Amino acid sequence: MLELIGAVIGRDLRLAMRRQADIVAAMFFFIIVVSLFPLGVGPEADQLRKLAPGVLWVAALLATMLSLPRMFADDHRDGTLEQLALAPQPLGLIVLGKVIAHWLVAGLPLCLLAPVLGIQFDLANDALAVLTLSLLIGTPALSGIGAIGAALTLGVRGGGVLLSLLVLPLYIPVLIFGAGAVDATVSGLGAQAHLSLLGALALGGVFFAPWPTAAALRIALE
- Reported as a single tens digit per residue, the pLDDT across 60-102 is 999 998 888 888 888 888 888 888 888 888 888 999 999 999 9
Yes or no: say if 142 and 206 are a contact pair by the CB < 8 Å rule: no
* Domains identified in the chain, total number: 1
pLDDT digits (tens, 9 = 90+) for 171-209: 999 999 999 998 888 887 878 889 999 999 999 888 888
Instruction: Tell me the C-alpha distance between 52 and 172, whole Å.
Output: 17
Quote the CA–CA distance of 207 and 211 in Å, as a whole number: 8
Q: Is 148:216 a contact under the CB 8 Å cutoff? A: yes
pLDDT of the residue at 18? 85
Q: What is the mean pLDDT of residues 157-165?
A: 79
Distance of alpha carbon 160 from alpha carbon 120, whole angstroms: 32
Asked if 72 and 154 count as a contact pair (C-beta separation under 8 A), the reply is yes
- Structural domain including 26 reads 2-221
pLDDT surpasses 80 at 213: yes
Q: Is the pLDDT of residue 35 over 80?
A: yes
C-alpha to C-alpha distances, 61 to 7, 91, 150, 190, nearest whole angstrom: 27, 26, 15, 23
pLDDT tens per residue, range 39-70: 887 778 788 888 888 899 999 999 998 888 88
* Three-state secondary structure readout of the chain: CHHHHHHHHHHHHHHHHCCHHHHHHHHHHHHHHHHHHHHHHCCCHHHHHHHHHHHHHHHHHHHHHCCCCHHHHHHHHCCHHHHHHHCCCCHHHHHHHHHHHHHHHHHHHHHHHHHHHHHHHCCCHHHHHHHHHHHHHHHHHHHHHHHHHHHHCCCCCCHHHHHHHHHHHHHHHHHHHHHHHHHHHHCCCCCHHHHHHHHHHHHHHHHCCHHHHHHHHHHHHC
pLDDT band at 162 (very low <50, low <70, confident <90, very high): confident
pLDDT above 70: percentage of residues in the chain: 100
pLDDT band at 112 (very low <50, low <70, confident <90, very high): very high
How confident is the model at residue 73, as a pLDDT? Answer: 83
pTM: 0.90
